[in-house]
A and B are shown apart, each in its own frame.
Chain A
Amino acid sequence: MESSTPVLFLLGASHRTASLVVREKLSLDATRAAALAAKLRAMPGVKEFTLLNTCNRVELYGVAHTPDTLAALHAALCETTGCTPEELNGAGFTRHNHEAIAHLFSVASGLDSQIVGETEILGQVKQAYDAALAAHWTGPVLNRVFQKTFQAAKHIRTHTGIGAGQISIATVAVDLAGRIFGELTTTQVLVVGSGDIGLKTAQAFQSRGATSITVASRTLSNAEAAAAQTGGWAASLAELPELLAAADIVASSTSAPDFVLTKELVAAAMKRRAARPLFLVDLALPRDVDPAAAELANVFVYNLDDLAKIAEANLAQREAEVARCRAILAERTAALWPQVAQSLNRPG
């Protein structure tokens, strides 16, 4: 920043560079964000800016026209957040011009996220841009950069495997259910035990369209409380043989020391359920489902280890795609940068 040529800049800190303590300090609630924005608007060297503020990162993108603007931005961020300049210097980072574009592409595409390939970040980038656009903080440079960012992120999601496969236990189970039943709208979900993980899994099934959920627990009052959370039915564990015969998906997470779903119990249920398959998700430790039940025709048993292995494999597959994604984004950055540079150098 020795010359007075306008520069596209990024000033920020993220989970990759800053500890949780520093990120907590840097975190901007609505009041702080408004205060920082007011300071930026008052700075004569700042022509455009957008503020991206998530639980994992605070990033300030903008166009600066004077060489000392970045120092002023640093100071403004410290003043607003209470973070010391040393902390920010140690945990923060700056990028200029095409490097700032490359970083934004990477962030919006989910490559820089804690869970590689997650999609929530793209929505957050869009929200940040929309807010800046509505407040007239952006101009021709940032408008172009962000529009191209959304196109790049969409391309990455569509043409690479960065978002392929589920990476949490509950969503892996839901994905497997989809491969057994297709649509989940007509499936009957039975949650055995009123533990948190079982309920979260049931809610994941609900989010994919499952409407009929029954919670069975040793204590009926616990089942009723858990059923109220899912909008489902409550039942006693004593009714398990009947419930099992009617269920398509069973998520079991009791604290019982022995198998709750024995092979004999499952075999008896299978005789009463025509041609429908049965998907048993064992979320308990020690296990609730007798592994021998998997030997029965049309019965699919997955335990915590199985689900975790699939999630890990999916994550590894996503990470293997990162290099390919970066290459694609580098090409797009190289194509965009000359246009942005021209725009930066345009008078006015």
Chain B
Amino acid sequence: MSTLLTDRALLWLGALLYLAGFLTGLVELLRRQPRAGLRTILNTLLIGGWGFQMAGLYVRGMAVGGCPLGNTFEIVQFVAWSAMLVYFFVGTTLHVTLLGLFTAGYAATLALVSLLVPQWDLTRGLKLFGNNPWIELHAALAVFSYGVFGLLAMTSLMHLLQSWSLKHKRLNGLFWFLPSVVQLDQINYRTLVLGVALLSISLGVGASWWVRDTASVDVPKLAVTIGVWGAYLLVGLLRWRARLVAVRFAWVCLVLFLIALLSLGPVNSSRHHQIPLLHQR
């Protein structure tokens, strides 16, 4: 019990630091004259939040003896953690203004909602991966790719906002600080490629084990997983062929992520049919 309290306390700290980062950035931007060290302050809060979240997930992982992906709470926390990790790479290499703010808001929302819905963390699967590190890798990569797609949804939202502001000539406020349309479009494409690549590797690893025991995965989970992967792959191909570009591409990425996020619930519950549940409180 004390271990569980500790991991949740760490995850609360992480979520609150994300929220603090988001609110700090938002208040500064609404003042129209953000202070010179805003990026440093924001990144410090986000790194702190990410560190606490990782510590919380680590403690949970040690307690359950594996990757903490056993229930909706853990998966949502892991998705938020992954998105932040990808942001650290994308944000620092491409200097994308406002991406930190959007990612902070997104990660804070996911982390706080998962903490505020107790039902998501009442039960979890036991021996979920059958002590098979490959299945564990498959699951971790799949959920990590959801983190990447989450970040893609954020950059798509930024693209939509920037396009809207330029089309409607509303150029003040937060719009002033958004990155350029072309930069956001390029980031969207690269992030999509990264997400599809990670999900493809994950499914490849999973498939190599699934063919040995096809009954180990039920049909709804299989259908949803392949559906999400296929949809992202198709969007990537259409973007590559310049058939789906600009605002439409951004809309599709945003909506597709919402669908993918909603599909996590059915996938998780479907998996739990065959796995013993452990009551944690």
Contact = CB atoms under 8 A, between A and B. Distances in A.
Given A158-B36, A313-B172, A176 B166 contact: yes
6 contacts: A164-B32, A181-B180, A274-B242, A275-B246, A294-B167, A300-B167
B246 A179 contact: no
Contacts of B13: none
B172 A179 contact: no
Contacts of B245: 274-275, 297-298
B33 A160 contact: yes
Closest 8 CB pairs of A and B: A182-B180, A275-B245, A274-B242, A298-B246, A182-B183, A181-B182, A180-B181, A300-B166
Given A277-B246, A298-B247, A310-B171, A159 B33 contact: yes
B169 A310 contact: yes
Given A276-B182, A309-B169, 20 more contacts: A161-B32, A161-B33, A164-B32, A176-B166, A179-B171, A180-B180, A180-B182, A181-B180, A181-B181, A181-B182, A182-B183, A274-B242, A275-B249, A277-B181, A277-B182, A277-B246, A297-B248, A298-B245, A306-B169, A313-B172
A228 B20 CA distance: 55
A286 interface: no
Q: Which one of A176, A182, A313 has the greatest number of beta carbons of chain B within 10 Å?
A: A182
Nearest to A276: B182
A348 to B, nearest CB: 41
B155 interface: no
A290 to B, nearest CB: 16
B48 interface: no
Contact of B247 (A161, A180, A297, A309): A297
A180 B166 contact: yes
B165 to A, nearest CB: 8
Interface in A250-294: 274-277, 294
Interface residues of B, number: 23
Nearest to B36: A158
A207 B144 CA distance: 44
Interface of A: 158-161, 164, 176, 178-182, 274-277, 294, 297-298, 300, 302, 306, 309-310, 313
Contacts of B242: 274-275
Contacts of A310: 169, 171
B82 interface: no
A178 B180 contact: yes
A179 B33 contact: no
B7 interface: no
Interface string B188-215: 0000000000000000000000000000
A262 to B, nearest CB: 19
Contacts of B32: 161, 164
A275 B181 contact: no
Contact of A297 (B171, B182, B246): B246
B61 interface: no
Contact of A182 (B171, B172, B182): B182
Contacts of B74: none
Nearest to B189: A275
B77 interface: no
Contact of B185 (A275, A306, A309): A275
B179 interface: yes
Contacts of B249: 275
B71 interface: no
Nearest to B248: A297
Q: Which one of A181, A275, A300 has the greatest number of beta carbons of chain B within 10 Å?
A: A275
Contacts of B183: 182
A337 to B, nearest CB: 27
Contact of A179 (B36, B180, B185, B247): B180
A309 B169 CA distance: 10
Contacts of B178: 179
Nearest to A277: B181
A146 to B, nearest CB: 25
A294 B248 CA distance: 16
A158 B247 CA distance: 34
Contacts of A306: 169
Contacts of B248: 297
B156 interface: no
Nearest to A172: B171
Contacts of A300: 166-167
Nearest to A181: B182
B53 interface: no
B162 interface: yes
Nearest to B185: A275
A180 B167 CA distance: 11
A309 B242 CA distance: 35
Interface string B228-250: 00000000000100100111110
Contacts of B169: 302, 306, 309-310
B112 to A, nearest CB: 32
Interface in B62-80: none
Nearest to B31: A161
Contacts of B246: 275, 277, 297-298
B71 to A, nearest CB: 40
A158 B37 CA distance: 12
Interface string B244-270: 011111000000000000000000000
A182 B162 CA distance: 12
Contacts of B179: 182
Nearest to B180: A182
Contacts of B180: 178-182
A275 B33 CA distance: 33
Q: Which one of B162, B172, B248 has the greatest number of beta carbons of chain A within 10 Å?
A: B172
